[in-house]
Chain A
Amino acid sequence: MHDEAVAHEFQYASASHQADTAVAGMWLFLATEVVFFGALFLSWIFARHFNQAGFDAGAERSELEIGTINTVILITGSLVYSLGVVLIEKGKTRAFIMCAAAAWLLGLAFMILKFAIEWRHDLDRHMFPGADFGITGDLAGGAKLFWSFYFFGTFVHGVHLAVGLGLVAWVILRVWQGAFSAAYLAPVLVVGLYWTFVDIVWLILYPLIYLIGRAT
C-alpha cells in the first residue's frame, strides 16, 4: 500500500479484491479476539458463581460513576468514527479527519479516566489484591478474586485500546497525506471494525465490574 493508492499487490486480481480480502481478514481476526476475551469472561463468571458473596463485596467498592462516564465516552467514540466513515465514503475527507480525531481524543479521555484516575483511586484504597488488601474478613478471598479479575481485565482491555489509539492515529495521518480516500478505504474500515470491537469488549466488562455486584 505505498503511495500508489489504487494499485494492488500481485497476488490479487484487482484493488477491490484486495480491499475485500483485508476486511475479511479483520473479521476473522476479531473472531479470534472474541475467543480470547470469551475465555476471560467465562472464567470470571465461573469464579463469581462459586464466590458470589465475596465477589459482590469486592464489586461494591468499584467506582460506578467513572465506569459509567467511560462507557458513554467509548460509545460516543465509536459512533463518531462510524459517522466519519460514512462521510469519507461521500468524499468528505476533512470531515472524516475531524471525526476520527474526536474519536481518538475520546479514547484518550477513557484511558486517562481509567488508568490515571480510577486505578489511582483503587490503589489508594488498597484494592490491589496484594499483601495489604483493603477488604478483610470472611469475604476477603472472593473480593481478592474480583479485584484480580478487575485489574487484569481492565489492563488487557486497556492494551487493546492503546493499540486502537495507535491505529486511529495512523489512519488520520494517512488520510491527511491523501493515501486513503473514498477510492481506497480498506484500512479505514478495518481500523473502524477493530475500534468498535474494543468498545464491545468494554460493554461486557462494564456490567461485570460495576453492575452485577450491586444488583444483588
Chain B
Amino acid sequence: MKFWLAQASTSAPESDYLMLALVLASIAILILVFGLMLIYAFKYRATNRMDRGQIMKKTWRLEIAWTIATMAVFFGLFVWGADLYVRLFRPPAGALQIYVVGKQWMWKIQHEGGQREINSLHVPVGRKIQLLLTSEDVIHDFAVPAFRIKHDVLPGRYESLWFEATMPGTYHLFCNQLCGTGHSRMVGEVVVMSGADYENWLAANGAAGTLAEQGKILFMRNGCSGCHGSNGAGGNQSNSTVPAPPLAGLYGSPVTLVDGQVVIADDGYIHDCILTPEKRRVASYPPIMPSFSGILSEDDVLKLVAYIKSLAPEKQL
C-alpha cells in the first residue's frame, strides 16, 4: 500500500505544503461540523426533556461572524494557491528545451540534440527543463504526479510547462485528458538522471544531427529558403525574387503585424507563421507566404522552429 507520493521536483514540496494546509483546515472544519452535529444530536434528542432555556433569536451577529471567518480562510487559501500557480506557469529563463508531441496514443519527445524517444523522457537532475507541448490530433494532457505538474496538450497550439527535477529515479508520465480508446495506455516514464548520466545518454542516442540541423534540411527541402534566403537571411532582389522577412534574429524579437499589433516572436508565433500565415501577416511584406498545414507534420514544424531559433543575427554577416 502506498500512502505517499515522491517529491521529485522543486515545486513538489511547495505543492505538498499547500495540500497539507488544505487538509489541516478541512480537518478542523470537519471536527467543528461533525462535532456540533453529534453533540447537538445527543444533547438535544427529543427524548431528553432537559430545559432548553432561552432560544437564540437575534441571528445576524452570528451570521456575519461566520461569513467573515469563512471569507478570511478562503482568501488566504486563494492567495497561497495563486502565488504558486503563477510561478508554475511562468517559463524560466535559460531552461533546457524539450519538445513533446502527443498523438493518439503516444508521446513523441525530441531533444534539442535531435534525440528522439517515445513514451519516455530523459532529463538531467537539477536543471530547469521547459517542455513545449503540442498535439497532432485531439487534446491530451501531460502529467507527472511526482513533479505535481500537468498541462493540457492542444492541437494547433504550443503550450509550455517547466519543472526542475530534484531526485534521480523513474516516475510515471500519464495522459490525463480522455483522448479515445487508448487513453489509459498513453502512459510512459520520466527518467531523471545525474548530469553525467544524461550526457552519456544523449551521446548514446545521438541522432542524425541536432534538431536545428534537421530543421535546416527541411528549410531547404520545403522551399522556405527560396523566399527567406538560405540561412534565413531574408529575401530581397539580390538573393531571391520575392521580398520575405529575414528570419535570423527573429526569435524573441518584436514583430509588427499588418493590423498594427506588435507581438513577440516566440515558438507559438513561428509555429503559426508556418501553418496559418494568413492569420498573422507581417507588416510591409506582401501576403504571399503559403500555408504549410497538411504538408508539414508537427514534428517537422518543431524542427523548423528549432532551426529558426538557432539563427542568431551575427551569423548572417
Residue numbers in A under 8 Å from B276 (CB-CB):
141
Cα of A53 to Cα of B279 in the assembled complex, Å:
7
Cβ proximity bits B282-308 to A, threshold 8 Å, 1 near / 0 not: 000001001100000000000000000
Interface size on A, residues (CB 8 A): 8
Cβ proximity bits B260-291 to A, threshold 8 Å, 1 near / 0 not: 00000000000000001111000000010011
Residue numbers in A under 8 Å from B279 (CB-CB):
50-51, 53
Interface of chain B, main secondary structure = loop
CB distance from A60 to the nearest CB of B (A): 15
Highest count of chain B CB atoms <10 Å: which of A51, A54, A138, A139? A138
Complex partner residue of A142 from B277, B278, B287, B290, CB under 8 angstroms: B278
Cα of A51 to Cα of B279 in the assembled complex, Å:
6
Cα of A116 to Cα of B181 in the assembled complex, Å:
43
Cβ proximity bits A141-157 to B, threshold 8 Å, 1 near / 0 not: 11000000000000000
Cβ proximity bits B128-148 to A, threshold 8 Å, 1 near / 0 not: 000000000000000000000
Within 8 A of B (CB), among A51-65: 51, 53-54
Cβ proximity bits A17-60 to B, threshold 8 Å, 1 near / 0 not: 00000000000000000000000000000000011011000000
Chain A interface (Cβ < 8 Å from any Cβ of B): 50-51, 53-54, 138-139, 141-142
Give 14 A-B contacts (CB < 8 Å), ordered by A residue. A50-B279, A51-B279, A53-B278, A53-B279, A54-B278, A138-B277, A138-B278, A138-B287, A138-B290, A138-B291, A139-B278, A141-B276, A141-B278, A142-B278
Contacts A138-B277, A138-B290, A141-B278 known; 5 new A-B pairs at CB < 8 A: A50-B279, A51-B279, A53-B278, A138-B291, A139-B278
